[in-house]
Amino acid sequence: MFSKEDAQRIKKEFWSTFSEEYPRKWLLYDTKIKDFSFKFHVDNKIAQVLISIEPKNNEHRIIYFEKIESLKSILIEEYVPNIVLDRNFQLENGKIVSKIWVELNNISLYNKDSWQEIYKFFNHNMNMFELFFYEYENYIKDLKANL
């Protein structure tokens, strides 16, 4: 078990090393869609690359999710084969968001031997999510088409 300080130091080292080995600007929050973002997640069990849809307007959240859901077969066949889609994902604080993700299991942020596998997973899958988004960005952004 790690102390809080050790855990923070390891996290900082993990992310610093990732940014050194894969020095590029990721799309992440720069989607031009409010509360629609791409994220990396890693803990002591899993790593995830995900799209998080969290608008305060629940109707917008559902529309954005349904647009991606309508492209699911393309997303799976051409970009990210093992995605999971969850329209009503409940965060620890009780908030409901929509989430689309791919996951790598049986790894740990706290095991440096798994870092390279995580970094490759992050790089490949985020790149594929971004390519998908850029290809279908206009469709995804256009709320009027569904209102």
User: Phi, psi at residue 112, to the nearest 5°?
Assistant: -60, -25
Q: Do you know the residue count of the chain?
A: 147
In terms of DSSP H, where are the helices of the chain? Answer: 4-21, 58-70, 72-74, 115-141
- Which pLDDT does position 56 carry in this prediction? 87
Q: Tell me the per-residue pLDDT of 17-75, one tens digit each, with 9 for 90 and over.
A: 999 999 999 989 889 888 999 999 999 999 999 999 998 889 999 999 999 999 999 99
**Residue 98 burial by Cβ neighbours in a 10 Å radius (0-12, 13-18, 19+):** buried
If pLDDT is split at 50, 70 and 90, which confidence band does 145 have? low
Q: What is the pTM of this model?
A: 0.91
- Which pLDDT does position 37 carry in this prediction? 95
- Which pLDDT does position 143 carry in this prediction? 78
- Which pLDDT does position 147 carry in this prediction? 42
47-81 core/surface letters (b: 16 or more CB in 10 A; e: else): bbbbbbbbbeeeebbbbbbebbeebeeebeeebbe
Q: Tell me the per-residue pLDDT of 5-14, one tens digit each, with 9 for 90 and over.
A: 988 999 999 9
Measured CA to CA, the distance from residue 15 to residue 21 in angstroms comes to 10
If pLDDT is split at 50, 70 and 90, which confidence band does 1 have? low
Measured CA to CA, the distance from residue 119 to residue 47 in angstroms comes to 10
SS3 140: helix
For the chain, the average pLDDT equals 93
